Structure formats: structure tokens, C-alpha cells
Amino acid sequence: MTSGLDDVIAAETVLSEVDGQGGHLTIRGHALRDLAGRRDFASVTHLLFDGFFTDLPNEKQLAARLGRARVEVFERVQALLPTLAALSVYDGMRAGTALMPDGDTLDDALRLIAAPAVLTPALLRLRKGLDAIAPNADAGHAADMLAMLTDTDERGLSAALDTYLVTVCDHGLNASTFAARVVASTQAGLTSAALAGLGALKGPLHGGAPGPVIAMLNAIAEAGEATEWLSRELTEGRRIMGFGHRIYRVRDPRADVLKTVVRRIPDGAASRRLAFAETVEQAALDVLRRAKPGRVLQTNVEFYTALLLEAAGFPEDAFTCVFAAGRMAGWIAHAREQQATGRLMRPQSRYIGPVPDMVA
């Protein structure tokens, strides 16, 4: 038996390949480094959707339709926002997403991509006693998401957030994408598949890691010394957040993309935070190398995700919501790819429980 389905091929895909040995991520034939910071999120969504929707327009038209989808989502959920805001921000976002029609059209897909981007800022504002800000259909997706959060349009921050959404849009057959494909294989609608992805992403072993990175950095800053703090964490059996990955045996390529983006944010506080984080990163790599010489534990995407989303103004409990805002495009593309095969995913299990007595 293969524990955790490691190395089991459950699907063939044209969407992305994760090279864990070489440290490369390919999305629809393009290296991540050739997409992140060079093509915006709507353009990469178009790339992911190509071939899966017969009515897919050109990139500019798709961006315009995504803008209108944000407006439509806001209108659908506006009256329910106070109720959703009583939940945790992730649960509220997921419940609001569940209100979208469970169809298979391009408009259904765009509403699902719009939902986390609209709901997350709205719920965060309501939780602070502020009014939700309606979307601007003419704005870029990341820029509008930030404007709905802070009522400002900081170009440097919106470019950073856009790069983040592209960086996390798809990443092989991870837990949430697999969950979405299993549901899609039943021929359920895209909302059902997306909700499966959202459920899996919430788990701390998948999408919940960036928040604890901030807690770690704050604790080290207060302690005043990184190596001692990190060593004590390992001695007491706790993980060092932002290091190690299930697939990558080298440095996560997404970490370097996001580190570069954080360095470009025109904010003195972000620059100082980055400089401190770099010292913590080096200390953590040294501590891990000494404590676990037989394991490869390199910096992963969560470490610099935490710095980027913190600089953009998102609180720690909303980091996974922003992750979902990017990954939703990948889930939908995978769901459409799985639906096209017409094959129900139905693996076998091995029974290891007690056996009843057999009657002669």
C-alpha cells in the first residue's frame, strides 16, 4: 500500500507540473518565472481555461467579464454580509461562495473566481465595523481586491498581490485540487467542486501555514535571538513554519518569486520586515540542517507569502482566503478537465478490521 497516495498517478493533466527534484513549476507549458510578474491574473486564468470552455473570449474580454462577475457576486451576497461576518472570515467566505449557482458555464466559473476576492475584503471590513466597498468592474482583479479592502489603489501593492495570485493559481494534484477533481468526476457542478477545494484548503497541513509564519516572526522579534528560539521549537517537537514541502526536495521556486516581489514593495516597513525575515530564514535553514541532517527542509512558498499578504494589509486569519482567491482558477480548470474525461474517480480501500464468523 502507498501511504498518502504518494507516487500514485490519479489523473493526466495539461495544466501544471511540479518538478520536486529540480525545483520547477510549469503551468500550461510556461515556467512560473515567465508568468509571475509578467502576465496578470486574468491573463493566466485565460491560459488555464483555454480548451475547457467553448465560449472563452480573448484575454481582454475575459478580464472585463471577470470584473462584471465581481459586481454580480457583491450584489448577490450584499444583504447577507452581516450574517456571514459573524463567522470566521474563512467560513464566511466559503459560505458566501456556496451561494453561487452550481453550473458549468464560463459565467459560473468567473463568479467562483470573483467570490473569494469580493467576500474576503467585505467580511474583513464588516468585522472592523466598516462598510463593505462595492467592486469596480473596470479595475484589475488584484487592484480591485485591495481597493475593496483598504479603499486605496496602491500600484506597488496591487502588482505584488497580482503576482501572488498567479504564483499560487495551480500546483499539480495537491490535496484541494484532488478533492475538487473527485467531486467534478461525479459530474457535479463547478461550485460543488470548488467547495471541496475550499474545504481541503482550510486544513493547517495545506493552506493554513502562512499565518503561523507571522506568529513565528513576531515571537522571534520579541525574543531577540533567532537561533535559540528556533532550536527550542524543534527540541520541544514543534515545526518551524515556512520550511519543508511534501513534493519539493529543493527550494520551492515560488518562494524566490514572492521574495523578489516583497523586495519591490515601496514601503519602508515592508523592507525592514523583509530584512529581518531573511535573517530568520538563514537561521532556520542552519538549525534544520543540523537538527535533521537526513532531511531536505528548504524554504517553501508560505514563508514569503506571509510577508507579502501582511504588507498588503490582510490579517493572518485571512491569508488562506487570499490563497483560495488565486487557487480557485486552478480548481475550476481541473474540474473541467476531469469532467471532460467522463470517468468517476473510485479508488479501492483495503479492509483491515475484524472479520465476522462465517456461518457454515
Annotated active-site positions, please?
Answer: 245, 302
Query: In the β-sheet with 24-27, what is the strand arrangement from edge to edge?
Result: 16-19, 24-27, 30-31
- Residue 127: exposed, middle, or buried by beta-carbon count in 10 A (0-12, 13-18, 19+)? middle
